[in-house]
Amino acid sequence: MLDKLVIATGNAGKFQEFKQMAKNLASEIIFAPEIAKLVVEETGRTYSENAMLKAQAWAEKVNLPCLADDSGLEVDALDGAPGIYSARIVNDSDDKKISWLLSSLKGKNNRSARFAAALALCVPEDYIFIGMGYCYGKIADSPAGFNGFGYDPVFIPDGYNLTFAELDSSVKNSISHRYNAFKKISCLLTK
């Protein structure tokens, strides 16, 4: 178990998800903006590259183990878009991103999609682990629910009739793309 783990995100929703997942991985879980300011340019071409960039930059900045992610929504009818550009496809609110997505899908029958996440755990001057996870589902016709963030109000995971934003956070956190990636990292640490 780690003494301290910094969750390298400025997104409070992601922090809460990771805090719940990592409770058995570290004694103290820290929200990165509470201890430092750092903007890391997402210049990678893949989720893994972006997650690694963020984890390494934060680990160098605070000299503590850091967990970072890069994630996105991949929609089949849009040839995998918005993908790694999910957070910045529209430089505005989550509502505007959802509006962009639903407008882009207008007239398309195929609503299948998946959330993808790469997690990188960087321990300064020691090692870096990367785990990739997915959650498959479909895009709803309209937003529903108030839990979560990003595209959660329009993503219905396979096996459910509710969006991520309608599901209880404990359910979402047990099936999400971030959880599936986190399982891979935590398995590596416990070997």
Give me the active site residues, please: 70
Distance CA 177, CA 72 (A): 9
User: In terms of Cα–Cα distance, which of 81, 98, 110, 92 is closest to 155?
Assistant: 98
65: left (phi over 0), alpha (psi -120 to 50) or beta: beta
Q: Is the dihedral of CA 92, 93, 94, 99 positive or negative?
A: negative
Q: Which amino acid is at 170?
A: S
73: left (phi over 0), alpha (psi -120 to 50) or beta: beta
Query: What is the CA angle 101-107-111, rounded to 5?
Result: 55
Tokens linked to 100: 């962009």
**Per-position b or e across 146-161, b if 16+ CB within 10 A of its CB:** ebbebbbbbbbbeeee
Q: How far apart are CA 51 and CA 121, in angstroms?
A: 9
